[in-house]
Structure 1
């Protein structure tokens, strides 16, 4: 795993280069969560609301909403598709996003409308790593993890 200014940046994920990461799973499902830099920028997450399982979301439409002491906003869908699972643990323990954004604190799992183009607007590999480092530097982010 790559790291920049304390921010973890897993190389095997796809990124929208702003808020979310995406991990392909078995059976054409994709797990989606907040990046380490974006959870740091938001501050301690106090509330999470996630659309219900079975809800269809268009690309860039909110699939979840988070609120912290300094920020509130929607988390955009990285592609059009149906929410097939949501992380109930995060709903009851929102601060988990600040503790473990890439493992236990995923937000939703989605099945894309078109698997062939689901990752078309996302970046991975060296290009994603560089773009995320540039984002971190531009916003002067120093990642830290909260404790429970």
Structure 2
């Protein structure tokens, strides 16, 4: 597995993946932290395009990513992550709306768990999912990062 660490307005971001695609995007600051396994190999060149697209996203010039992704998870989790990718830039959906969209209208708690297990934050936009009351809820890396990402998108729509 290859990895790189890039700088962003919300702190260092870890990218990890292999020839199959990007497997992880994680924040090195915040509540959810990842340890870099000793057998991972640093490779900036491998992640050049991902870094370029993330830089464009943070500068308000990119609304949709075009990267090869290879997240690992259950079929249910993958269906949730696919639904997350369909949430338009600058918009939000509730956990219940995601559950309905994948044909499991009563599985909104399971959707929340799948959201929490999303290994490729930002690109699989789990930050766009909010509580049914419209409040920001549950973001593994901290609500401050979720709020930053939502405001970034909202401000760039104007």
Q: Same fold (TM over 0.5)?
A: no
Of structures 1 and 2, the one with the larger relative CO (CA 8 A, separation 6+) is 1
TM-score (norm 1): 0.32
Q: Which has the higher helix share?
A: 2
